[in-house]
Structure 1
Amino acid sequence: MTQRTRLLDPAVGGAMSALSKVAKKGLGDPALAELVVIRASQLNHCAFCLDMHLAIARRYGVSEKQLDLLASWEEAEEVFDERERAALALTEAVTILTGGTSQASGSGGGFVPDEVYENAAKHFDEARLAHLIGLIVAINNWNRVMVGRRIPPGGYTP
């Protein structure tokens, strides 16, 4: 193990794990939670998290078609329902805060566009919306930790 892979303090990892668990539980839809974390991990190029969450998604019954088309969910309208699409749009908007436009919003980066947030709020009550945002924040944190540490895929076992 290199110094780079030892950078995560156990207390930090425990706090991040707790946030992830609370957010997933509060969202109340494990399959949707996996779609969200996979999409954020795609955007953040986190191979470790993709490997792990693709395996978990399959255990929760997410279809291979959804997994295959997740990177292009906006064009695959028949594969993702409105609720899933709202969650994925919010995932992209929260994940891509700077450096251009979010495909989901078509507007400038640096903030979550009102229309994306309001559409998500139509599909999730206040508590579930808060947990969805918490989940997006949690996976973005994990992606950055794992990419920053250069953790390769393949280390996850269910």
Structure 2
Amino acid sequence: MTQTLTTPGRLKIYKASPELYDAMMTLSAAAAKDLDPELGELIKIRASQLNHCAFCLDMHTRDARKHGVAEQKLDVLAAWAEAGELFSERERAALAITEAITELGHGGVSDDVYAQAAAVFSDRELGQVISMAVTINAWNRINAAVRTPPPRR
């Protein structure tokens, strides 16, 4: 049975602002449209690792397994750049641009990172990858602000 915990003293934001939740779900659906679900989950997990969002990590690692992401990829995702050929060229490009978007204070999205992604994705795909990274960062920041913990299972 799944039980959602709350952090005492923190706003139950989705209850207080249900239109925020609805808008975020609409944004999530738009970002996921036509994006490979496995790639989408890798993007969401990597950004959530960088943002220390336990709620999103719990959710998206479970979702990744349901979509067939290999356990080994999930095991080493935090060190994807050092994992050699375990990740495809497209996955590496998506993860690099996700990290750059997530850590904008470290110089933003460099021309090299952008060019690497643009070389392996169509314009539509690149737009979806960027949108997925932006969307999960928004979810991470909302959940971190109100300290949404992962559910107990």
Structure 2 residue corresponding to 1:5, chosen from 11, 22, 41: 11
CA distance in 2: counterparts of 1:3 and 1:15, whole angstroms: 25
1:79 aligns with 2:86: yes
The aligned residue for residue 97 of structure 1 is 104
Contact 1:34 1:53 in 2 (8 A): yes
Deviation at 1:7, TM superposition (A): 2.5
Answer 1 or 2: which has greater helix percent. 2
Who is 2:125 aligned against? Answer: 128
Cross-structure match for 2:3: none
Are residue 88 (structure 1) and residue 85 (structure 2) matched?
no
Structure 1 CA distance for aligned equivalents of residues 134 and 59 of structure 2: 18
- State whether structure 2 residue 135 is matched by structure 1 residue 152: no
Q: Structure 1 CA distance, aligned partners of 2:9 and 2:23?
A: 21
Distance 1:151 1:143 in 2: 10
Structural mapping, 1:6-155, within 5 Å: 6-8=12-14, 9-27=17-35, 29-98=36-105, 109-154=106-151
Unaligned runs of 5+ residues in structure 1 are 99-108
Within 2, Cα distance between the matches of 1:110 and 1:7? 31
TM-score normalised by the chain length of structure 2? 0.90
Query: How many pairs does the alignment contain?
Result: 145
**Residue 113 (structure 1) shift:** 0.1
- Give the CA RMSD over aligned residues: 1.4
% of aligned pairs identical? 52
TM-score by length of 1: 0.87
Q: Quote the residue 1:106 is aligned against.
A: none
Tell me if the contact between 1:5 and 1:151 (Cα under 8 Å) persists in the aligned partners.
no
- Any conservation in 2 of the 1:121–1:129 contact (CA below 8 Å)? yes
